[in-house]
A and B are shown apart, each in its own frame.
Chain A
Amino acid sequence: MSKPRSIKLTVNGTAYEHTVEPRLLLADFLRNTLGLTGTHVGCEHGVCGACTVLVGGDSVRACLMFAVQADGCSIETVEGLGSIAQLNPLQEAFREHHALQCGFCTPGMLMTATDMIRKYPLATDDEIREGLSGNLCRCTGYEHIVQAIRAVVARNAGKVR
């Protein structure tokens, strides 16, 4: 028996209250319960990075956390970054630099990059590559993703590129 539990949390600024089974992964809660299918699920064991979201501002694997653990937390998913009409600067850089093809890895790349840009100086492309090493992309060869992130880091530092 596993008793369902009631949780309260905010996702992209909206408050939600739901009753969930303890074994429900945060990724499945976001996708299936809330219908926020921007968060993708590739491997379900922490390796591909597609499910990366921000919990309390920190990037985490939504496949390695249970929804019940997010009780009281504030979560951001790719849907919270910008809208199709108004991309945020990181999304805009991804568009501009052709940093996606099929788009499967993109939500995880964007959420990872959001946290990375905040936490590391990313002074070199090697550092950006290292930061992306936990996110797999089958399409782009990563080069354009590195360029997009580089552009955002440069813009934040006040340099135009």
Chain B
Amino acid sequence: MKPAAFDYIVADSLEAAVAALAGAGGEAKIIAGGQSLVPMLNFRLLKPSVLVDINRIPGLAFIKESEKTIEVGALTRHHQIETSPVIAKHLPVLGCAMTHVAHLAIRNRGTIGGSLSHADPAAELPMLALLLDASLEIASASGRRTVAARDFFLAALTVDLNDGDIVTGITFPKLPAKTGWGFEEVARRSGDFALAAVAATLTLSGGAIAQARIAMTGVGPTPRRAGDAEALLTGKPLGPDLIEAVIKLVRAGVEPESDLHASADYRRHLAGALAGRAVAAAWRRAQGKTA
């Protein structure tokens, strides 16, 4: 349970990190919080010959508010997001989700860039990036690009990053006015990865739902949106029958797998139940009530 030997490079700038990665020709791994990477190194599931430490790059940990967006630097720790007043005000569903990510000691180190890049099929942050229509800024030796969260998660633990790419930041559009949110998760213990979790936002106009967003994690190889349930909700006020219909659609639309922690059937059951609760909570919050 000790990692294989590797060379260690501390990058003091983004340029230095990009150059170090390019120089290692696919043999290098970035280390950010290390909270997913180091367990894999300790188990020797990964044996990179070089680790490029990005923790000392200045200016990669920030939460910046603009008129329409909130930009979060890739090195921002989970605990910073959890306790940020800007996040609490403009993206409260994200702040709530963070309290479900692991435990304080892991949230003190783990970063948003690392969580999105790692893309565990049961992680909360990839689901939130997808829910909130976020986009990722990525730097490499060949320049910079921006990728929408909906195009970023390709398969379990697989994202649209090439060797040498570094995620530098994530941009979230602020929630529109008259938007309520819900976040529901079932895990075996507080802080464990989700068996299933659902996050939703509902934006109201004239007493009906103008925009519905529902995202799920733990019920497939990547996080996913419940597109048909979102379409069903649009243009209607929420009531018990509609919630039932959402639950049915979500259950029909997911293909979870069985593993040690839960059967596929139980995960499918949870996805529906949690979607129903998340949508109901979002509806109440959109009307200014507590969820």
Enumerate chain A interface residues (CB-CB to B < 8 A): 1-3, 5, 21-23, 25, 28, 44-46, 49, 52, 58-61, 63-66, 68-69, 112, 115-116, 119-120, 129-131, 133-135
Q: Interface code B88-116, partner A: CB below 8 Å = 1, 0 otherwise?
A: 00000000000000111110110000000
Where the two chains meet, the residues of B that have a C-beta atom closer than 8 Å to any C-beta of A are: 1-8, 31, 34-35, 38-39, 41-43, 51, 53, 55, 79, 83, 102-106, 108-109, 189-191
Whether B104 pairs with A116 at a CB distance below 8 angstroms is yes
On chain A, the residues within 8 Å of B7 by CB distance are 1-3, 22
How far is B51's CA from A63's CA once the two chains are assembled, in angstroms? Answer: 16
Determine whether the beta carbon of A49 is less than 8 Å from that of B103.
yes
Q: Which residue of chain B has the shortest Cβ distance to A129 in the bound complex?
A: B190
**Cβ-closest chain B residue relative to A47:** B39
Whether B55 contacts A69 by the Cβ 8 Å rule is: yes
B35 touches which of A1, A25, A58, A64 (Cβ 8 Å):
A64
Whether the Cβ atoms of B51 and A60 lie closer than 8 Å is no
Pick from B1, B51, B106: contact of A134, CB below 8 A.
B106
If A21-B5, A45-B39 touch, whether A61 touches B190 (CB-CB below 8 Å) is: no
Provide a sorted-by-A list of 22 A–B residue pairs whose CB atoms are within 8 angstroms. Answer: A1-B7, A22-B5, A23-B5, A25-B3, A28-B2, A45-B39, A45-B42, A58-B109, A59-B105, A60-B109, A61-B105, A63-B42, A64-B39, A64-B106, A65-B109, A68-B8, A69-B55, A112-B105, A116-B104, A119-B104, A133-B190, A134-B191
Which residues on the B side are within 8 Å of A69 (C-beta)?
31, 34, 53, 55
State which of B2, B31, B55, B103 has its C-beta within 8 Å of the C-beta of A133.
B103
Whole-angstrom CA separation of A141 from B42 in the bound complex: 29
Instruction: For the complex formed, measure the closest distance between the CB of A13 and the CB atoms of chain B, giving whole angstroms.
Output: 21
Residues of A contacting B106 with CB < 8 Å? 46, 61, 64, 134
